[in-house]
Amino acid sequence: MLFYLSTLLGIGLILLALYDAFETLVLPRRVTRRLRIAKNYFWATWSVWRRLCDLIKPGHARESTLSVFGPLSLFGLFACWVAIIITGFALLHWLGNTLTPPSNREFRQCLYHSGETFFTLGYGDVTPVTYIGKFLAVMEAGIGFGFMAVVIGYLPVLYQAFSSRERSISLLDARAGSPPTAFELWKRFGRLADRHETDRFLAEWEIWSAELLESHLSFPVLGYYRSQHDNQSWLAALALVLDASSMLLVRGAAESQQRARLTFAMARHASVDMCLVFKLPPREPNVERLTDDEISRLFVGDDARRPTAEQIRQLRELQSLYEPFLQALADYFRLFLPRFVSDRPAVDNWQTSPWTSRAPRLGELSGEDRASNEHFR
């Protein structure tokens, strides 16, 4: 009875690791099954990693440490799958007495044989002597070849998705500052009624939001990959898209409101589904992202009219549709969630350099601006 139970355990371990790798690396859709190695692995390791990083003083050192988790955890997951597969085959060899004596009686020797077979080393000091053992050795070598091929093919796809995401985020630096804010975006664009530039921006970021949703549902590990600069992130970009769209829906040009509605729907869809993937309940923002006084600054135009009470109500209602989800993502990933209006002077990353005392810019950069930028960097 023990032999059959142990055999089932070995087969179960192999199938569990292979199917989990298939779901994570090959299957292009969200998996809702609870018993998943990858899901539990990331939940456990990220919980420990972020708590350790919380002990570090906020700043560049902490952000650098947090940024290591994504790539490092990915290789850790690969090692976890390999270890489970090797252990499963070792159990089958050990229980079936398939190896040359006396190695067949020692589990560590079976584990060694399984490992060298998986990586196709083939030293020949421990070999299978039964037909079942030979069959298992051939099967494990084939699985090892296939597994390594899938992993090698997975990494370029992953980093291509990461590069595509970051390319658009980098473009926000000159358009909306770093970190990006809706107030800075529309101030640089000019009036909200400038339909040509506004519609083009919304169309581009509707596509970006759709790509973010697709890539992060297919490869959730991308959520742990952080941007090159500490004051930029995919979450800050997503917040900007939602903030800018909600502003247009309340007081933008009538012709642009349909475009804003489509972009808002896509961006909110991305934020909600990201919370579903990581099982994050929505949370109210830690601080108010937009005060009543700041609303007046947001909508200053040629007519200089203050927003009406109805417009303020509409904007607050739109905020309530997405801010709790953004806050949940910010808390989980330890990412900065920007406000509508930055409480610090806007400074772009391209305006700064560690080798010059005076940063080049289109206008004059004050000492207060430099200090603010250094704080973010």
Q: Strand ranges (DSSP E) for 215-265?
A: none
| H helical segments located in 99-130 | 107-118
pLDDT band at 357 (very low <50, low <70, confident <90, very high): very low
For residue 305, the model assigns a pLDDT of: 65
Q: Please answer whether residues 91 and 6 qualify as being in contact, where contact means their C-beta atoms are separated by less than 8 angstroms.
A: yes
Residue 78 CA to residue 21 CA, distance in Å, equals: 9
Q: Is pLDDT above 50 for 72?
A: yes
What would the pLDDT profile of 5-59 be if each residue is shown by its tens digit? Answer: 778 888 999 999 999 998 888 876 666 666 788 889 999 999 999 999 999 998 8
Give the residue carrying structure tokens 């060298």.
116
Q: Which residues pair with 99 in a beta bridge?
A: 128
Percent of the chain with pLDDT over 90: 45
Q: pLDDT value at position 302?
A: 44
pLDDT band at 3 (very low <50, low <70, confident <90, very high): low
Across the strands, what pairs with 128? Answer: 99
Arch. (CATH architecture) of 2-153: Orthogonal Bundle (1.10)
What is the band of 1 on the pLDDT scale with cuts at 50, 70, 90? low
Integer Cα distance of 185 and 241 in angstroms:
10
CA angle at 113 for the pair 108 and 117, rounded to the nearest 5°? 145
CA distance linking residue 160 with residue 274, whole number of Å = 20
Please say whether the beta carbons of 187 and 299 come within 8 A.
Answer: no
Q: What's the distance, CA 15 to chain centroid?
A: 27
What's the distance, CA 60 to chain centroid? Answer: 19
d(CA 4, CA 2): 6
Q: What are the C-alpha distances in Å from 313 to residues 250, 292, 309, 319?
A: 9, 11, 6, 10
CA pair distance 106, 281, nearest whole angstrom = 48
Reduced to 3 states, what is the DSSP secondary structure of residue 375? Answer: helix
Instruction: Supply the DSSP string of 41-81, one letter for each residue.
Output: HHHHHHHHHHHHHTTSPTTHHHHHHHHHHHHHHHHHHHHHH
Mean residue pLDDT of the chain comes to: 84
Considering only the C-alpha atoms of the chain, give the largest distance between any 2 of them, rounded to a whole number of Å.
92
pLDDT above 50 (res 163): yes
Q: What 3-state DSSP class applies to 333?
A: helix
Band of residue 367 on the pLDDT scale cut at 50, 70, 90: very low
> Is 99 strand, coil or helix?
strand
Long-range CB contact pairs, 218-221, < 8 A, 24+? 218/28, 218/29, 219/157, 219/158, 219/161, 220/42, 220/277, 220/278, 221/42, 221/70, 221/73, 221/74, 221/77, 221/158
pLDDT (0 to 100) of residue 285:
87
- Coil vs helix vs strand at 128: strand
Q: Torsion angle of alpha carbons 68, 70, 72, 77, nearest 10°?
A: 160
Q: In whole angstroms, how far apart are CA 178 and each of 40, 215, 223, 237?
A: 34, 24, 20, 10
What are the backbone angles phi and psi of residue 128, rounded to the nearest 5°? -75, 145
Give DSSP secondary structure letters for 332-351.
HHT-----SS-SS----GGG
Spell out the residues 6+ positions from residue 301 whose beta carbon is closer than 8 angstroms to its own: 191, 192, 193
- Please tell me the least confidently modeled range out of 228-232, 337-341, 353-357: 353-357
Q: Where are the domains of the chain?
A: 2-153, 177-343, 351-377
